[in-house]
Amino acid sequence: PHGHLLAFEHAQASSVATALAGRNVLVDHRGTRLRVGLGIYHDTGDIDDLLERFAGLPVPGAGEKGRSC
The overall pTM is greater than 0.85: no
To which H or E segment does residue 45 belong?
helix 44-54
pLDDT recorded at residue 31:
94
Q: Is the pLDDT of residue 35 over 90?
A: yes
Question: Given a cut of 50, is residue 24 above it in pLDDT?
Answer: yes
Mean pLDDT of 27-52: 91
User: What pLDDT shows up at residue 63?
Assistant: 53
Name the nearest CA neighbour of 50 among 14, 10, 8. 8
Short-list 2, 4, 1, CA closest to 35 = 4
Check whether 56 has a pLDDT greater than 90.
no
